[in-house]
Amino acid sequence: MNLYEIVIRPLSAFATPLKGDTLFGQLCWQVAQNPSLVEGGLEAALSCYSERPFIVLSSAWPRLAQNNGDDKTFYAFKRPDIPLSELFPGMEHQERKDFKRKKWLLSGQGLALDLGSQQKFFNDKQLADQFPAGSPAKTRQSLAISGSTDIFHEQQRARNTINRLTGTTGKAPFAPYSVNALFFRPGIELAVFALVDCQMTSIDNVVKALENIGRFGFGKDASLGMGRFAVAAANKLPLPNCSGANACYTLSPCVPPKGIYSRICFEPFVRFGRHGDVAALSGKPFKNPVVMANEGAVLWPASTDAFKKPYLGTAVGQISKAQPEAIMQGYAFYLPMRLEAEK
């Protein structure tokens, strides 16, 4: 499989986080509507998905490009979900408490992760200070209105439900309510990493599908203008070097298989999925809940054979009573790293 970095630019607020499994689900709907995007169409791609995924998508991560002559690119990743006592073994208890807010780290060149003593961690404001201003006047104006200097923030937006019989709001369930919306800092770029089986599809087809998703909206409340983004570029990257690695750091939610890992540190994440597109209007729009390991999980393989694949996890089936053939991405692209597990 080939590794690509797909650079996207948010154009609106998001009601659904840009996680890899959700992106995969919306991409599958694009293939269902345009079978030429994948060799043999969606049915053929999903029939062998458990043994041979045609694509594995990561969640979206902030991307920092420093155009100062060397064109270095860094990515902001979530602090690994391992105990702080292991991540900062030499620190006192109070010092580790102060580090709880430092939930970001920057990758090195070539997606390298080194959690040694030289690794710097950032809180939301410190991470925002690492990013260029973009269009200074417009950015300053937007940030002043929002009152935030972080790279993204959540806001509550007021909504109303209209009683179509009276044309008014009235009492519950037609009373006003609020929903959460995720706003990104103006000018920010996000990177989605895609492992692509080029015998089944191409990066051009993947970009075409993502452009359609960004044009019509990603996730919840797309019909209200949420989830809009533009695809800025797609760059081929070398696969990370696994030499000397003993652990895997995941870049999207996943479902690890049994018996392969000697230890796993993760934040539990429950996906309460629902069907999209026309299936959302069916009598059974909701899928079965799936417990996953959220992005940022660290897994220690029992054997180095696990590093022979650039992804880990499993395909998740039997998630829908309305569509028994439906499959969910339980795979994740991972970054290899060296991290001694506590005995």
Summarize pLDDT for 257-297 with one digit per residue, the tens: 988 999 999 999 999 888 777 666 667 788 889 999 999 99
With the CA atoms of 107, 112, 118 and 120 taken in that order, what torsion angle do they form, in degrees rounded to the nearest 10? Answer: 10
Question: Is residue 342 in some structural domain?
Answer: no
**pLDDT(27) > 90:** yes
How many whole angstroms separate alpha carbon 297 and alpha carbon 217?
28
CB 58 within 8 A of CB 310: no
Cβ proximity of 234 and 6 under 8 Å: yes
Q: Do the domain assignments include residue 169?
A: no
- Does 164 fall in a domain? no
pLDDT, mean of residues 314-332: 86
DSSP state of 142: H
Reported as a single tens digit per residue, the pLDDT across 138-154 is: 555 555 555 556 777 78
Q: Would you state the structure tokens that stand for residue 220, as one six-digit string?
A: 């919840």
Pair of tokens at residue 261:
């890992």
- Residue 306 resides in a domain: yes
Residue in 295, 299, 296 with CA at minimum distance from that of residue 309: 299
The answer to whether position 282 is within a domain reads yes
- DSSP letter for 318, please: -
Other beta carbons within 10 angstroms of residue 170's beta carbon come to 13
Amino acid identity at 201: T
How many other C-beta atoms lie within 10 A of the C-beta of residue 308?
A: 8
Nearest CA to 110 out of 241, 5, 246, 296 is that of: 241
Establish if 53 belongs to a structural domain.
yes
If you average pLDDT over residues 214-239, what whole number do you get? 91
Q: Which of 38-47, 130-139, 164-173, 261-270 is predicted least confidently? A: 130-139
The arithmetic mean of pLDDT across residues 181-204, rounded, is: 90
In the chain, the DSSP E strands lie at 2-10, 55-66, 72-78, 104-106, 121-122, 152-159, 177-184, 189-196, 229-237, 247-250, 261-265, 268-271, 290-293, 298-301, 311-316, 328-337
CA distance 58 to 10: 16
Residues 229-238 have a mean pLDDT of 93
DSSP class per residue in 74-107: EEEEEPPSS-HHHHSTTS-HHHHHHGGG--EEE-
Q: What are the C-alpha distances in Å from 338 to residues 79, 93, 151?
A: 15, 24, 29
Beta carbons of 303 and 212 less than 8 angstroms apart: no
Determine the structural domain holding residue 312 and report its residue range.
Answer: 2-150+181-337
Q: Does the pLDDT value for residue 172 go beyond 80?
A: no
| Nearest-angstrom CA–CA distance, 11 and 43 | 32
User: Looking at residues 305-322, what average pLDDT do you find?
Assistant: 88
CB within 8 A of 129, min separation 6: which ones?
none
Pair type for strands 177-184 and 290-293: unpaired
Could you tell me which residue, 99 or 144, shows the higher pLDDT? 99
**Is 87 part of any domain?**
yes
Number of domains the chain is built from: 1
Between residues 86 and 149, the one the model is more confident about: 86
Are 245 and 61 contacting, i.e. CB atoms less than 8 angstroms apart? Answer: no
Q: For residues 5 and 322, which has the higher predicted lDDT (pLDDT)?
A: 5
pTM of structure: 0.88
173 occurs within a structural domain: no
Burial class from Cβ neighbours inside 10 Å (0-12, 13-18, 19+) for residue 171 reads exposed
> Under the phi-then-psi rule, with left for phi > 0, alpha for psi from -120 to 50, and beta for the rest, what region is 170?
left
Decide: 121 and 99 in contact? Cβ < 8 Å: yes
